[in-house]
Structure 1
Amino acid sequence: MCETKDRAHVHVHTYNIHFHQDLMTLPNSLAKRKSARTMEVTNVSEYQAIAKEKLPKMVYDYYASGAEDQWTLEENRNAFTRILFRPRILIDVSKIDMTTTIMGFKLSMPIMIAPTAMQKMAHPDGEYATARAASAAGTIMTLSSWATSSVEEVASTGPGIRFFQLYVYKDRNVVAQLVRRAERAGFKAIALTVDTPRLGRREADIKNRFTLPPFLTLKNFEGLDLGKMDEANDSGLASYVAGQIDRTLSWKDVKWLQTITTMPILVKGVITAEDTRLAIQAGAAGIIVSNHGARQLDYVPATIMALEEVVKAAQGRVPVFLDGGVRRGTDVFKALALGASGIFIGRPVVFSLAAEGEAGVRNVLKMLREEFELTMALSGCTSLKEITRDHIVTPWDAPKARPAPRL
């Protein structure tokens, strides 16, 4: 029995060493080549190719893949390309102000970090690096329930504005305890994920038999016997979700959460007008238009396509945010022109984290900020309030009558 346990310990230890060697101790020539490549990064999307080379296949596929046919995964990105600009000219754009106020907090820009799980699979510094990068950029980081660093550990990295993404477990005592811990740790809002009563069919994870590497835990649940993920015949994460996440979650639970915390509740996963109105009726303080990075139900609209419907239904009563597919500063502008108060980025964070750690995340935020500022200038906008619906044209816009030419 003891010998078996020792063998298991050696196996885990060996896995740990090999995994981090994959990430951190590449052969010198290859490491130099990768370092040179990361120095040449000129846009956010280039980090994905670097991450694919550096990460173990199971980890890269987990971050990169979508559900089933992955139609929505591609559409999240492609839909932005069909929205065109109507720039205004001869406007003094010598000074551009990108600052904004989100949920009462002054930010340097309307670009924030979405919750992405298990970041220490990407880099040993994981969520610590992301938290520091967000704070340095003067923006918000959202910590995943399934982080590999706890709320207390992230808070220990220093000052910063942080939201906490919440999955509702069957054991509501676990939920209440976690929410109170986040509040005590200085988190400022709850982003309640509402589109995951069951995990979407992520076929890459099934093929890879995805599970959390044995040297990592879901840190927020470590002391509750819920921090580990068992191996399964398909996806270990899907089995974990089936066993722990509450499928009975409903609008009454949005109200229940308000009884156990003073933090505002953002409902994350709304893509219809009907659910927008119900979220506001249930007391939501904000809405995040999200399709879970195209990882849940395939063939739902791209979030940028769903955004305007949600904004119109909200009628200005609560702020509306967007995540999914944002890779350029031009995308940020388009989202704001359609009524978003700000956007969240997910995959660009984990890919840049894998490539360059904290420096990579800082660079992603810097590049998006600079691209967004340039887009504002070239569109004739000097502040966020000047970005209007008239600055873009979408495929669903009705043709506008044009005056007849005079002979």
Structure 2
Amino acid sequence: MMKALPLTPLMTISLTLTIGIIIAKWGYDDFNMRFWLIISIISCALSSIIFFLTKFLSKKVYFSRSHQFLIYSQCMMIHLCILSLGAFLTCKQIADSQTSTQLKNWQELSYLTRAKINTERYKSNIESKLVSLHVKQQDYAVIAAMALGDKSALDSNTRNSYSISGASHILAVSGLHIGIIFQLFIFLLGGRKYSVYTIILSLISIWTYVFLIGLPASAVRAAIMLSAYSLSLAFHRTDLPLNTLSSAYIFMLFISPLYLFELSFQLSFLAVASILWFFTPLYTLLPIRSRFIRWAWGLLCVSLAAQIGTLPVIVYTFGRISCYSLLTNYIAIPAATLILYLGAALILFSPLTLWAPIAPVVAPLISLTSGALTSITQFLNTAIKLISMLPGASIENVRISLPQVIGLYAIILLIYALWRRIDKQKSSECKIP
């Protein structure tokens, strides 16, 4: 029987916050920050008054309809407060982005800005080391994109090949990459034991990595989502994974409401939410005993589940459907894993060449690692290019409107609900003697 994923308060708060941000974005010229601030203060005050009034009535012996009305009113005021607060933060961010910024000297910059500048310098040093290893231009470009989040060196042909084959998601430091690196740290620090100590140290390492590559937005989002899930895993609170996802979603939108309108943000959360909803129902369709076939089936189910949630937005944005994306993942994900591991080893080994006593030992290791990294990257680029050249690799110029996108998601949710209902009926029939 499929495990139901219930609608929780955090999910409704996420929806309310999203609506507030959209209203503020579209109605920025009509409703300013002051309006939304006043609404949020009033709704918060009313919610507090209703809360204390409800507590007072709950001490009485009777529970009348007025008591229930107060509870519903309090919920409405809380959601109105969240909606108006999201709208206020959105208006503030828009206003801040429209104000002219003057160049500041180093002392006037914030600590975060200084740190980001320093990390950009460090990332440039790593990139120069990769170039010094005589890695070919587009091989270097793919490695830099996957390991460092820098896609500036990718040419149009490489970008187009990855897009047509459905492998564009591996060219940015996102949830896949952060998850792979996190598993590496878990293995190095504690084997397969997911203890609190191992998880916390691994998260510190992940955030150090994200900081060193310049805090790209996609990597920050992935690290926040991973942190929320890992901490819930450490403290045995994994019963509601959508709650964890909602917490990360709310946290990130409070930091930067305009994230909501970034494509990478939308795809990240849609992919994870879709995997949480659809992976288990798809995976349990086939009972498989073979370990290798089970891995292959699991990878297919993860890819298909992510496609269900992201395809409408991808088609709406790019007007393209990649027909072999599920096949591509069988090549792209294992290759990306090896590239990230070898790239991390190369970054760690390179500074050791400056220490004379061990330089003769480290140099062959660097040469071997560099050769393996280049070979795997060349294989990946060649495979992606061949897939993109296959007949019917993509369906181009598919145009759908925003209402059609909303309609597609409504159909997806309807199919899921129907699937759950049929599964529930089958399980209940099996229990009848």
TM bin, normalised by shorter chain, reads under 0.3
TM-score between both structures, scaled by the size of structure 2: 0.26
Flag the structure with higher helix content: 2
Could you state the TM-score of these two structures normalised by the residue count of structure 1?
Answer: 0.27
Q: Which structure has the higher relative contact order (CA within 8 Å, separation 6+)?
A: 1
Bigger radius of gyration: 2
